[in-house]
Amino acid sequence: MEFVGPFEHYDVVVNGWRVPFLEMTPMTGGRVLLTLDHRTGVDLSLDEAERVVPFLADCIAVASGYTAHPGDGVDAPLRRHPMMRMHGIDFG
């Protein structure tokens, strides 16, 4: 994981790929502010950010139609199959 900057914000990079919609701002005391889509944010320690950011990267990738955020050595993100299989739920 890397924080690329400084600009007005830092881009968040996981496995060499920038995480779209996610920015980081350094805070005092070894904390960071992660901001999602310029709308909402969370104040985390660096250790917390190290654990949470890869999860967020995968969530954003899946919501954008990919199988996951690209891993090390991946040339391009993989598109998810367009039709999700529906499963019935039996409450019987």
Place of tokens 């690329």: 4
Mean confidence (pLDDT) of the chain: 88
Does 81 score more than 80 pLDDT? no
Average pLDDT on 15-32 reads 94
Does 6 score more than 70 pLDDT? no
Q: Strand 2-4 vs strand 40-45: parallel, antiparallel, or unpaired?
A: unpaired
Does 28 score more than 70 pLDDT? yes
Domain boundaries, the chain: 2-63
More reliable by pLDDT, 17 or 9: 17
- What is the per-residue pLDDT across 35-54, written as a single tens digit (0 to 9) for each? 999 899 999 999 999 999 99
DSSP string, 10-71: EEEEETTEEEEEEEEEEETTTEEEEEETTTEEEEEEHHHHHHHHHHHHHHHHHHTTBSSS--
Return all residues near 80 (Cβ < 8 A) that are at least 6 apart.
Answer: 62, 65, 66, 67
CA distance 72 to 24: 22
Tell me what pLDDT residue 7 has: 64
Q: Which of 1-5, 16-20, 75-79 shows the highest mean pLDDT?
A: 16-20
